[in-house]
Structure 1
């Protein structure tokens, strides 16, 4: 299954435990935050000023 920008972070973390380390390594420490239950990867990257392409690449390699 490919990880895409519209996936909800909470769903990603629940279904792919390896994603947590990737998210944390990229500076997204909010994986347990209540917002992550409804926030897409794209939205979180926008809020945190992160490069979505490099994050998606790393996530897809990890899972």
Structure 2
């Protein structure tokens, strides 16, 4: 498991490693859950495709990912 979400990770990898990020993804209006492209789209790709600022998306994904790691460890 990676230590944090990286902009070059696929959306599928992010959701699998940190399931709590699914709420963030849906909250941004992204329908990556179950999307066949999620295995190929990086976080940067998805932000660009959905016209979401990459820095903000990364911040939100990382914040949830860190909380999930803290609660599981």
Segments of 5+ residues of structure 1 without an aligned counterpart are none
Cα RMSD of the aligned pairs, angstroms, is 0.9
Tell me what 1:57 maps to.
Answer: 59
- Write out the 4+ residue segments of structure 1 that deviate beyond 3 Å after TM superposition: none
Alpha-carbon separation, structure 2, partners of 1:22 and 1:55? 8
Tell me what 2:41 maps to.
Answer: 39
Superposed displacement of residue 47, structure 1? 1.0
Per the alignment, in what secondary structure is the counterpart of residue 31 of structure 1?
A: coil
User: How does the TM-score come out when normalised to structure 2?
Assistant: 0.80
Q: 1:20 aligns with which of 3, 8, 22?
A: 22
Deviations, residues 11-61 of structure 1 (Å, cap 9, x unaligned):
111111001001111111222200001110101111111111111111111
Alpha-carbon separation, structure 2, partners of 1:41 and 1:20? 13
Segments of 5+ residues of structure 2 without an aligned counterpart are 66-73
